[in-house]
Amino acid sequence: MSVLPSFVLPDSASVATDGRLLVAGLDLLDLAAEYGTPLFVYDEQHLRARCREAVAAFGDRVSYATKAFLCKAMAALAHEEGMCLDVASCGELYVARAAGVPAERLVLHGNNKRDEDLSYALDEGVGRIVVDSFDELDRLDALVGAGRPAPKVLLRITPGVEAHTHQFVRTGQDDSKFGFTYSTGAAAAAVERARASKSVELVGVHMHIGSQIFAVESFPKIVEVIAPMVKPLGLPELCIGGGLGVPYVEGEGAPSITEWAAEIRQACERVGLDVQLSAEPGRSITAMATITLYTVGTIKDLPGIRTYVAVDGGMSDNFRPVLYGSGYETFLPRAVRADRTRRVTVVGMHCESGDRLVDGGLVPDDLQVGDILATPVTGAYGHSMGSNYNKVRRPAVVFVADGKARLVVRRETFEDLIRCDL
């Protein structure tokens, strides 16, 4: 018997008496019929609950990492729930501002912020800039020297701690493009320079060791590593970055945001670091709030080899399987508790053999063309990493709450595909 594990479903999920899945009281098949597929369905209560948990755990300067998923509705929601927003580009900054988020509540990241990015951020008056390099300090010297206000900054330190996660999302080791390396003395030199500088107001240090990390012991480790350098400085802020993992498939489990924060707080207490702690969770806010709905278009059975189930999306709405080999559960919203007896390979509709969404996905035996097939835990790094590859129109996004759906991102049109062409 292989029934979908219920932990992969959003907080407001329930099963109707006929076996169909509801989220916030809404039938997913009705949503697919109304808005079309592929469709991202976000459980708004789930999003809000995770934002509140983050604020309760880390305090007022905790940021939502918008790279996980961003549109105006998401930016506004995170802001309403009391989070700051981490923006990793001026595009993300623009969307957050367009959503009405005050610039003071934004934290700008990036390992290569250009003059125009920094000017934009300074002119808007962003709350914090996380400085990544000596070249960036040079640029800030020039921009502030030319009359712009000196920003509050944190320095991104690379602590030399390897997180147990996929190599593409590991950022804390010495061999990284990000930040000032601790072991080479670059971090100490950057601190010295920033403290002496009139172009920046140094308020703290920042670290981010990677993403999709289940082993929360990695976080206390980085606090211990940097404590000898940071403690004597008496800087008020320490941001521990994002990175808390979420379970995607049967057999995985992850600590809660509250547990994650408690581990880090205890580490700060152990080493005597008295700072305003903050963090930048992305995935742990949005991933599990979401289900993607697809329509099954073709089923190709290769006896003794595999069965390909092709859906109307693919690597353009979820690039993670191609990029990291990530796994997902699969199910049919029409029969969410059904025994999933058939092992299939769910593929997309792109002209790439590698365009696989789920390798070895389980589905009920009676799966057929025309079925709505769902992948849960798709709220982070799916829509945000999406593309127009093969000139596919990017999917719509709906937020559901209290029995109502609201379209927050409409499906792209053919006209959208040529709107930048001259």
Ligand X SMILES: Cc1ncc(COP(=O)(O)O)c(C=O)c1O
Binding site for ligand X (CB under 6 A): 65, 67-68, 86, 109, 208, 211, 241-244, 280-284, 380
Angle at 97 between CA 91 and CA 100, to 5 degrees: 150
Place of tokens 């995770």: 50
Residues near 138 by Cβ (< 8 Å), separated by ≥ 6?
none
Say if CB 327 and CB 359 are below 8 A apart. Answer: yes
Q: How far apart are CA 216 and CA 242, in angstroms?
A: 11
Which residue, 136 or 280, is less far from ligand X as judged by CB? 280
First vs last C-alpha separation in the chain: 56
Indicate the residue among 21 and 213 with the shorter CB distance to ligand X. Answer: 213
Catalytic machinery residues: 351
The alpha carbon of 306 is separated from its chain's Cα centroid by a whole number of angstroms, namely 32
| Cβ-based nearer residue to ligand X, 199 or 284 | 284
Closest contact distance (angstroms) between CB of 109 and ligand X is 5
Q: Shortest approach of ligand X to residue 386 CB, angstroms?
A: 16
Query: Three-class SS of residue 266?
Result: helix
Name the one residue in this structure whose structure tokens are 């049967």. Answer: 250
User: Which runs of consecutive H residues, i.e. helices, occur in 291-410?
Assistant: 320-324
Tell me the C-alpha distance between 292 and 377, whole Å: 8
211 or 295: CB nearest ligand X: 211
Nearer to ligand X, 45 or 278 (CB): 278
Q: C-beta of 67: minimal distance to ligand X in Å?
A: 6
- Least distance (Å) between residue 239 CB and ligand X: 8
CB of 290 to ligand X, least distance (A): 14
